[in-house]
């Protein structure tokens, strides 16, 4: 089934110059880039994106981190790209991520700061639709 997903190269990945490598891997996997933008996300956009986590202990540090610098935001499209990108990204904890994945090959262990794990990818078709609308209004 052809679907779309939001992919974010987070501020740590952008700062390290990894956007091109992440996008190369996305395209090498056979997915199409539908939209691409680079900017520093504001608090309002991040509050919408992370609304389900509001009130949790990691919410404020996550929003602070995600607004700390530029991100590369992309919409990708392809057969089962949500599941495929999440497999390509690897486990959330870079130390536990397998070699060959983005986080396994490029991630660093920042201790308790697991939000600094290079990339984000939508986790379901419903999340993808909601997230794409937040980051690329009118595209979803």
CATH of the domain at 131: 3.30.70.141
Closest C-alpha to 25, from 70, 74, 68, 71: 74
Query: What's the pLDDT tens digit per position in 84-128?
Result: 999 999 998 888 899 999 999 999 876 656 678 999 999 999 999
Query: What's the pLDDT tens digit per position in 46-89?
Result: 999 999 999 999 899 999 999 999 999 999 999 999 999 999 99
In a domain, 58, yes or no: yes
Quote the domain boundaries for residue 11: 2-135
Q: What value does the mean pLDDT of the chain take?
A: 94
In a domain, 92, yes or no: yes
Catalytic site positions = 120
Q: How many domains does one find in the chain? A: 1
Binding residues for ATP: 10, 58, 86, 92, 103, 117
pTM: 0.94
In a domain, 115, yes or no: yes
Binding residues: 10, 58, 86, 92, 103, 117
CA distances from 87 to 20, 29, 57, 67, 124 (A): 18, 11, 27, 26, 13
Q: Is the dihedral of CA 97, 114, 40, 5 positive or negative?
A: positive
Given a cut of 70, whether residue 135 has pLDDT beyond it is: yes
In a domain, 112, yes or no: yes
């Amino acid at each position: 089934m052809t679907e779309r997903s939001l992919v974010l190269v987070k501020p740590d990945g952008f700062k390290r110059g990894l956007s091109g490598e992440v996008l190369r891997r996305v395209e090498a996997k056979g997915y199409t880039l539908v939209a691409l933008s680079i900017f520093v996300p504001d608090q309002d956009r991040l509050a919408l994106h992370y609304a389900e986590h509001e009130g949790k202990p990691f919410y404020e540090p996550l929003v602070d981190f995600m607004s700390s610098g530029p991100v590369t935001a992309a919409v990708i499209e392809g057969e089962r790209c949500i599941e495929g990108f999440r497999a390509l990204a690897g486990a959330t904890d870079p130390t536990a991520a397998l070699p060959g994945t983005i986080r396994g090959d490029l991630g660093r262990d920042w201790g308790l700061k697991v939000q600094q794990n290079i990339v984000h990818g939508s986790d379901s078709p419903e999340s993808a639709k909601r997230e794409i609308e937040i980051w690329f209004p009118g595209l979803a």
